[in-house]
Structure 1
Amino acid sequence: MNTLFSSDPPTNLTEQTVSELSGSIKRTVETAFDHVRVRGEISGYRGPHSSGHAYFALKDDKARIDAVIWKGSFSRLKFRPEEGMEVIATGKVTTFPGSSKYQIVIETLEPAGAGALMALIEERKRKLGAEGLFDPARKRPLPFMPQVIGVVTSPTGAVIRDILHRITDRFPVHVIVWPVKVQGEGSGDEVANAIRGFNALDPLGPIRRPDVLIVARGGGSLEDLWSFNDEAVVRAAAASAIPLISAVGHETDWTLIDYAADVRAPTPTGAAEMAVPVKADLDAQLASLGARLRGATSRQMETRRQSLRGLVRALPSLDQLLALPRRRFDEAAAGLGRGLERTAIEKRRSFERAAAGLRLDLLANRLAERRRQVGDQMLRMDRWLERRLLGERGRIDRAEARLSGLPQRLSGQIARERLHLAALARQAGSALGHSLSRSRAAIAAQDRVLQSLSYKNVLKRGYAVIRSEDGTPLTRAAEVATGQALSLQFADGAVSATAGAATDAVPPAPASPPAPRKRTTKPAPEKGPDQGSLF
């Protein structure tokens, strides 16, 4: 007997689901690698996710492993991870069942030796230096006597107290402190934002913009000072419009902000000394300069006084200076009376000549002459108006004569146009009749062609159109199902029918129906005892 399927041999393995197998692998990996230290290069780092977690990978020249730092561990890191940095990560290995991957959950992260950090600093220094951020030509001199000083540092450390104490001792001015974190995650962004915030203040606003900035922090290790090597801090310091003093760490500590700042101070106290002068020294210098100014002024006044006395002795006396002007004044005063008399006589004669032309009889003659001139002009105007009226009246008469014959000319022209319009109407009627005859003949010819091509003429020759219940014509036997209701359209009407079983060919109808033959049926052979079904 043939069989299509065969059963597998029995086994002692326990059947597991995919979730159970993934969970078992996860527990095994976490138990075997619950605490590991991995050295590798950071790859694919894009900063913390919006959730606060950081996802990246650690790699070397042969392998790669995914890594994650949860939000709580990320906030405790001493420095920020960066792309390409070689680090030593401590944590545990776990799996992610959703995608059958494994990863390391990092709890602590430290640079792979100071040499790696120094190499990263040198690389960043070359990059920023190539952009010109450390160019000495960009650095600005510090103001000699600032009125407001801005300090970017931690508000709780000893640095701010040293700066305030030193400024108070040397030259008390107004100090504005922008509190920031100087170590740990986010400290670089806070320092950069503080520098940009001081630059954004209005010089005339309620909080005046400082004249000089001090970015300060106490000493520490390279990891502690790492925030001041941040690229954002360096760019903010280089872009600051306010002169900036960098006072980060002790004298031997160098960070990248020292290269971008306008002045580097060895210590925060040294930055305070650079920012303001010594008031006592200025008072002493001012007193010395005042004494020298008073002595120089006295000596200059005495010199000028002696020079003035010498010049006075060289000047002529007052009588000598006024003698010639006095003589000219006397001569002018003596000739003034005679000049007034001559002027009065000339004016009187001029008035008399003018009065001679203003007699009553002369004025009357002038008025009469003017009246005659006006009368002549009025007469000439009247004659001109009469001639103008006669000319216009003649032009109007000529126009009336021309218009009087216009109706007769128009009536003749109208009669001619009527005759022409009647002729055109007759021609249009004849043309319309011919056009209608041609259109009727063309329509009759098209109708004859349509009748000759119509399927109804084919139906008259003994054919029929088979349609479905919805009236759709059926052209192939494959489109008809057994038992489907059909409509047969003949030339004289339509009948309903039901489709039977399909056949390959339709035999011709016999001349007379043959006699039915009796059909014999053979009995089916019995099945043997050993004969079975394949199924």
Structure 2
Amino acid sequence: MAEPQSNVAEFSVSEISAALKRTVEETFGHVRVRGEISGYRGPHSSGHAYFALKDERARLEAVIWRTTFARLRFRPEEGMEVIAIGKLTTFPGSSKYQIVIEALEPAGIGALMALLDERRRRLAAEGLFDEARKRPIPYLPRVIGVVTSPTGAVIRDILHRLSDRFPVRVLVWPVRVQGETSAAEVAAAIAGFNALPAGGPIPRPDVLIVARGGGSLEDLWGFNEEAVVRAAAASDIPLISAVGHETDTTLIDFAADLRAPTPTGAAEMAVPVRADLVAAVGTLGARLEGAAFRQIETRRRELRTATRGLPRLDDLLAVPRRSFDELAARLSRSLHANTLAHRARLGRSAAQLTPTTLARRLERAADRLASLAQRQGRALETHAERKRALYLRSAGRLRIEPIAERIGRGRDRLAEIDGRTGRAFVRVVERQRDRLDRAWRLAETLSYRSVLARGFALVTDEAGAPIRSASAVSPGDALAIAFHDGKVEATASGAPGRPRPKGKAAKPAGQGSLF
């Protein structure tokens, strides 16, 4: 009995999946979906991000392609409530539907503030906001680096205020202060200023100003990004943050060395007022001049007062002049008495120096010299006798026979060593001769001449370089063909690779052709 036929159409799995895909994509074009991020583990190794959006009753798979992920102003975080903009599609491989996200934003200001507060606590725990690491701003910088938009009113306000207060050199690093690439450009500008070498063609700033006008939380969000905060904290150049107005607060304000309420206020903090400095220097100069004048007048009065208390010059010199006169009078008498005393002493010494006295002293010296000469002669004889006895005792102990025996044994040993040396030299020479013969036979075996002897030939060009293929030879080239018993000069003719016609006679030896 035949089975009843059904009127229901039959589809394959792929057809069903394709139909569902078209239905979902045509019905739901671009949609805005609000939900909580779940299962986010960061971007995949491919650069794509996979996670899910969920609420209290349902779950929707989501994917962000790599190119879209790089443009996001906000990075997804686990548990964050967001609004995703994209289009729905299906994934036939697992019968799932998902949203391909093209834009992502936090769900309301409350979510932004929660994200901002969480990021602030995390960076503060790392010590990026510690007051101990903040450095003082230079009092009078020579170069100021400004990171801001080159077309806005902020840079004009900063330049105008610097010109009014204290004109200095300003370097502007243009960046976008709002948008997807704002954070990356600001961080790169801070790092770029720090990378400038001291004394280079572009002067290194003494202080940096990161500035932007006021705006909403979303407009200023680029200055809350972690990359900007870390760049400001790592800056070796003191940094002033001037983002927004007085009531606006961003995370870069906590990492900067100094926060200004406005960009104009940052310019005022960076430099003093030149007119005030000139006035202060003038005032200090006048005070210094007046103090010096008063000091001189005071010293002059003190000197005059001290001068009136000093005695006259004649009174000061009276006592020394009288003492000098008395000493001069005593000096002449003392010189006369001293001369008389030395004359008397010289007379007494002259009386002692008579010829008889000198003769007696010479005789005593001669007797002493003769006695010393006799004692020296006897001492030399005693020493010579002592040495002679010592040498005789030593000669008695030296016997000739043992020495002759030792000389004979040494001569025999020397003859034995000479014979052994000769035999060893002969063996070394024979071994070296054998090694040389083996090397020569090996060289003969490996030499190309042995190949030539077997009937082969070596073809070289004019320079003597070997030719290894026919394509390297052109008609008319001069060649040399080496056989085992000599060389033959030849000239190439014909096209390379073309065989020689049959019946053509070979040229005489010495005028050959390759073809």
What TM-score does the superposition give when structure 2 sets the normalisation length?
Answer: 0.63
AA in 2 matched with 1:283 = V
Partner of 1:235: 230
Secondary structure of 1:302's partner? helix
Please give the residue correspondences for 1:170-319 in structure 2 after superposition, counting only pairs within 5 Å. Answer: 170-319=165-314
Partner of 2:156: 161
Contact 2:147–2:175 under 8 Å retained in 1: yes
**Residue 388 of structure 1 is aligned with which of 390, 394, 403?**
390
Give the SS at the match of 1:389.
helix
How far did residue 384 of structure 1 move? 2.7
Structure possessing the higher radius of gyration over alpha carbons? 1
**Post-superposition offset of 1:225:** 0.6
Any idea what SS the aligned residue of 1:92 has? strand
Give the aligned residue type for 1:159: V
Q: 1:149 to 1:365 in 2, by over 3 A?
A: farther
| C-alpha spacing 1:80/1:14, structure 2 compared with 1 (3 Å) | same
CA deviation digits over 1:459-489, x for unaligned, max 9? xxxxxxxxxxxxxxxxxxxxxxxxxxxxxxx
**Partner AA of 1:28 in structure 2:** T
Equivalents in 2 of 1:187, 1:127: separation in Å? Answer: 22
Q: Is the 8 A contact 1:90 1:108 kept in 2?
A: yes
Query: Partner of 2:451 in structure 1?
Result: none
Residue correspondence of structure 1 range 99-114 to structure 2 within 5 A: 99-114=94-109
Q: 1:386 to 1:120 in 2, by over 3 A?
A: same
Cα distance in 2 for partners of 1:206, 1:246 equals 27
Report the Cα offset of residue 7 of structure 1: 10
Please give the alpha-carbon distance, in whole angstroms, between the structure 1 residues aligned to 2:195 and 2:339. 85
Range with bigger deviation, 284-293 or 360-369: 360-369
Distance in 2 separating the partners of 1:362 and 1:97: 145
Write the letter of the residue equivalent to 1:388.
L
Partner of 1:511: none
Alpha-carbon shift at residue 200 of structure 1 (Å)? 4.4
Is the 1:96–1:102 Cα contact (8 Å) retained in structure 2?
yes
Quickly say closer, same or farther: Cα 1:341–1:395, change in 2 above 3 A.
farther
Q: Cα RMSD (Å) of the superposition?
A: 4.4
* Distance in 2 between residues matched to 1:333 and 1:257, nearest whole Å: 98
Aligned to 1:189, what secondary structure does the other structure show? helix
* SS, match of residue 167 in structure 1: helix
Q: Which amino acid aligns with 1:216?
A: A
Amino acid in the other structure paired with 2:396: G
AA matched with 1:127 = R
Following TM superposition, by how much is the alpha carbon of 1:259 offset from its aligned partner in structure 2, in angstroms?
2.4
- Preserved CA contact (<8 Å) 1:80 1:185: no
- 1:134-533 map, 5 Å: 134-321=129-316, 331=327, 338=335, 375-397=377-399
What is the match of residue 520 of structure 1? none
Structure 1 vs Structure 2: percent identity of aligned residues? 65
Letter in 2 for 1:287: G
| Cα offset, 1:323, TM superposition | 5.5
Secondary structure at the residue paired with 1:181? coil
Structure 1 gap segments, 5+ residues each: 1-5, 405-535
Number of the residue aligned with 1:414: none
How many Å separate the matches in 1 of 2:196 and 2:226? 23
Q: SS state of the match for residue 110, structure 2?
A: helix
Structure 2: unaligned runs, 5 residues or longer: 353-357, 407-515
Per the TM alignment, residue 47 of structure 1 is displaced from its structure 2 partner at its CA by 6.0
For residues 126 and 167 of structure 1, what CA distance do their matches in structure 2 show? Answer: 35
Aligned counterpart in structure 1 of residue 120 of structure 2, from 114, 125, 131: 125
Cα distance in 2 between the residues matched to 1:346 and 1:18? 156
